[in-house]
Structure 1
Amino acid sequence: MSGPHDTGARAPRVLVVNSGKAEAVDRLRAAAPDAGIDVITERAYAPMYTPDVRLHFVEDIADLTAVRRVALDLWARGPVDHVVAPSERSLPAGGYLRSFLGLPGIGFETANRFSNKAVMKAALGAAGLPVAPHRVIASLDGAPAAAAELGWPVVLKPALGTGSMNTFALASPAALEALLGSPEAEGLRRASCPLLVERFVEMEGEYHCDGVVSDGEVAFAAVQRYFMPLLGQTDAFTGSYLLSEDDPAVSAVRALHRATVTALGLTDGVTHMEVFGTEEGFVIGEISCRPAGGGIVDAVRMKYGVDLWRVFMDTSLGRPAGVRGPVAPLREEIIANCDLPVRPGRVLRVSTAEELSRVPDVIEVRMTTRTGDIIGRRLHSASTTGLVFLATAEPSLVAKRVEDLARAYVLEVAPD
């Protein structure tokens, strides 16, 4: 007997709720070539999609009512079988649509725990897991008192956000006062969600863990260390490298990752988790249930042969994750991914892939910016002009090769 969402002989119909991760459409087409795809997004992202993609617009994909109206209009034209939400900002709307329409996959409660940092940290704290002391406030009016209670320095950010956008490290009451009086605070004032004030974590290193969850168990988890903490870094050579299996941080971060997945209730999907290394031990920054940005997914594939984008699409379409642990590395070298620095303006000159490929230990270069392009001012921690992948014999060589890249890299921009 067929259920309400059985496709039978017809091709599946998929709604993609998305922001600027336009590559997700190609990833979905690769996973489901016969699927009918409609994308709900914002008009600002339209130029990122190819003309053959069916786009449907809302003013803000965080507006669940607006997204629901568009989804119901599309539903009226034919059954919808799956919802795919590949970006941080689209996770709540994707979960909401699945719950509202009775579709399979991650429902709203779980999606909210993996995207709403206030809800996330409350759940992690209740489970006894290490998170930074924090306060949830309704508006900027509550920031001075919350920061004074926590003690300076603090980090101020929206509970719902992407990358490091609208995230500010503040060292003192004077720094907070200056922010509140500046145009930079407008994003926080306009936020349609609570705000989070956290005690700033003094860290010795920042890590991330990218995993696969199948039937409620972690089937795979790769641990990487960032070159430097990401907050505030756009005009810098950011990135990360995969730690060797015998690095003591690997087992500790994997254990935290398993406990976090259990506490937040994910049964199937992929994760991207940020972890701070401190003198007292590891502290959970945040976790999401979508593929990481930058070159992280490709670095994991190069090292382990696990395609996190494919797993994400398969689990979003109700298929098995297809990964069974433990997964052995495919190569011995240390794989690093490097995001090239970016600055706003019109590009007068930028290095080519051929030029950067001459740096020792570079195995692949993907430039996304060319001379004449305009780089906008809305930058975040994953903004870049291109990606460079390295394979070094030792972890200690990663920093040396990044220095070599810095000497070879050229980016000249003029104000636009």
Structure 2
Amino acid sequence: MHVLVLSTGNPLLESALMAAGHTVTLIQPAGTKPAPGHLGATRLTIEHWDDLDALSAMEPTLPKADAVATIDEQAIVAAAHLRELRNLPGLDVRAARAYTDKATMKATLAAAGLPVAGHRVVRRADEVPGAARELGWPVLVKPRGGLAAVNTFVVRDEDHLRELVADGAFDARVPDVTGRFTAGHALDSLHQAQDGFLVEQFLDLVGEYFCDLYLHRGTVLLAVPGRYDAPLLQTVGDASYDTVLSPQHPEAGAVLELAGLAAAALGEQTGVVHAEFLRERSGRLLIGEAAARPGGGSITELASTMYGFDLAATLAQLAVDEIPTLNPAPLYPALTAVMVTAPPGTVTHLADKATTEQHPGVLDADIRLTVGQPVPPSVGTLTLAGRVLYVPTDLRELDREVADLRTALDIRVSSPDGLQPTA
């Protein structure tokens, strides 16, 4: 088959498609450098993913294709637009917008009778108090489209709002440390958002969960429930960990049910839906958001390791409307990805890969820190310093087990001003 793949630098999907014998034509932002996995693929460029008029103008020049695919959040609407122009199967523009625009998403979910936090759309910081009077202080502000908790923060009251405005919180654009976001709006400031941003009811949370659904034409082939160590906004920039749970775990049932309902409401598809869920102190479980792509960070690796499947090959099969064989029986009672993090500065010491993998329960260590190098920056909740895959002994003691593992990593960093090293 010939597949048009919209990609921003991660060659996972197109490499797997070519390995399976398919022909790939890549569409990428003009500033994106070809990755090694792109060799052998025809490469075309655009300036911006949201310029659908430019895509429409490009479409007559594109080769005949059997499918349009992407695993990139920024390109989901663009891919749907090309499908509609070519009358190809897959997610359409209406559903693509419901999965990528949080305001449309929450309205769609609420209309289906599913639980979501109350919200309002505003365009400027001075409109936040009006929304907060309806929702109640404090409130959460966030982009309508974004990733990894970028430009998402709590506003306590009007005095706090004035402080945030004075500090430039609504006007600051997040630096593109990965080089993958120049053709999208994910890192724009809140005030740069053409269609405004969200003011959302602040919830008293005690937990946050996720679920990745592997789907073929709306039928669930595999459901991978899991939980974050704490609500994501509490872990931005901190040492965090994610855990996939057995479907039989007591916390998994409600998550699985809501994930299926969310995917059905937003638009059933062939591919992966990543959904997140919020547990209030009262016990109520709400849908935080859902995306028409695999989970970020280490979630896909956790899923493929937990269930013993080839992630890239599976994504490629789904992209060409094939049904992959996925075993729903987990290989472990639970599996955790411990994010490697360190304070700013220069790394002076850390345990190596071999030593870390001797620690009880460790399956694999991917440590991207090296002695003498500065600690890499993070983007929201996304860390660039690596992760350790770990099989928990007792989920009730997981905080302690992860703390012991971090101690074994023995990461030491000299502070930026050259003072005493810190751990």
Partner of 1:212: 214
- Distance, in Å, in 2 between the alignment partners of 1:50 and 1:311 is 17
Q: Is the 8 A contact 1:348 1:414 kept in 2?
A: no
Measure, in 2, the Cα distance between the counterparts of 1:273 and 1:348. 38
Which residue does the alignment assign to 1:7?
A: none
Per the alignment, residue 293 of structure 2 pairs with 290
User: Contact (CA 8 Å) 2:3, 2:23: kept in 1 or not?
Assistant: yes
**Equivalent in the alignment of 1:281:** 284
AA of the residue aligned to 2:24 = G
Q: 2:237 aligns with which of 235, 246, 250?
A: 235
SS at match of 1:204: strand
What SS class does the counterpart of residue 232 from structure 2 fall into? Answer: coil
Structure 1 partner of 2:10: 21
Is it true that 1:101 corresponds to 2:101 in the alignment? no
For residues 138 and 63 of structure 1, the distance between their equivalents in structure 2, rounded to whole angstroms, comes to 21
Listed as ranges, the matches of 1:14-413 within 5 Å are 14-30=3-19, 32-41=20-29, 43=31, 45-46=32-33, 52=39, 55-69=43-57, 71-72=58-59, 76=61, 78-186=63-171, 187-231=189-233, 233-278=235-280, 279-323=282-326, 327-331=328-332, 333-341=333-341, 351-371=351-371, 379-409=379-409, 410=411, 412=413
Secondary structure, in 3 states, of the residue corresponding to 2:224?
strand
* TM value normalised by structure 1: 0.85
Separation in 2 of the partners of 1:286 and 1:243?
A: 19
Report the residue type matching 1:267 in the other structure.
Q
Name the % identity: 29
What is the SS of the residue equivalent to 2:290? strand
**Structure 1 counterpart of 2:218, one-letter code:** G
1:407 Cα offset (Å)? 1.6
Q: Kindly tell me: are residues 306 and 137 of structure 1, through their superposed partners in 2, closer, same or farther at Cα, counting changes over 3 Å?
A: farther
Tell whether the 8 Å contact from 1:360 to 1:401 is kept in structure 2 after alignment: no
Q: Which moved more, 1:32-41 or 1:208-217?
A: 32-41
2:216, 2:321 within 8 Å by CA — same for their partners in 1?
no
Shift of 1:241: 1.3
Residues 284-334 of structure 1 deviation map (CA, whole Å, 9 limit, x = unaligned): 00011111122211211222224454433322222235447xx22223x42
CA–CA distance in structure 1, aligned partners of residues 78 and 343 of structure 2: 31
Cα pair 1:244 1:334 within 8 Å, conserved:
yes
- Structure 1: distance between partners of 2:377 and 2:247: 39
Q: 2 CA distance for matches of 1:148 and 1:411? A: 46
Q: Is the 8 Å Cα contact of residues 270 and 290 (structure 1) preserved in structure 2?
A: yes
Alpha-carbon separation, structure 2, partners of 1:397 and 1:386: 23
AA of the residue aligned to 1:151 = G
Q: Which secondary structure does the structure 2 equivalent of 1:183 belong to?
A: coil
Change (3 A) 1:38 1:346: farther
Unaligned regions of 5+ residues in structure 1, if any?
Answer: 1-11
Say if 1:135 and 1:77 are closer, same or farther in 2 by CA, change over 3 A.
Answer: closer
State TM-score, norm by structure 2.
0.84
Taking the aligned partners of 1:16 and 1:351, their CA distance within structure 2 comes to 39
Quick check: 1:336–1:398 contact (8 Å CA) kept in 2? no
Q: CA deviation at 1:178?
A: 2.2
Deviation at 1:336, TM superposition (A): 0.8
Secondary structure at the aligned position of 1:129 is classed as coil
Mean Cα deviation higher: 78-87 or 206-215: 78-87
Gaps of 5+ in 2: 172-188, 418-423
Contact 2:214 2:223 in 1 (8 A): yes
Give the C-alpha shift of residue 62 in structure 1.
3.0
Q: Shift of residue 411 of structure 1?
A: 5.5
Q: How many angstroms apart in 1 are the aligned matches of 2:35 and 2:269? A: 32
Q: Greater shift after overlay, 135-144 or 53-62? A: 53-62
Deviation at 1:68, TM superposition (A): 4.2
What amino acid sits opposite 1:412 in the alignment?
Answer: V
Indicate conservation of the 8 Å contact 2:81/2:92, yes or no.
Answer: yes
* 1:330 counterpart letter in structure 2: L
Distance 1:264 1:169, change over 3 A: same
Q: Counterpart amino acid of 1:296?
A: I
> Structure 1 counterpart of 2:85, which letter?
F
- For residues 183-239 of structure 1, what are the alpha-carbon distances to aligned partners after superposition, in whole Å with 9 as ceiling and x for unaligned? 332211112333111111211111101112223232321211111121263432222
**Distance between the aligned counterparts of 2:35 and 2:341, measured in 1?**
21
Of residues 137-146 and 125-134 in structure 1, the stretch that sits farther from structure 2 once superposed is: 137-146
SS at match of 2:251: helix
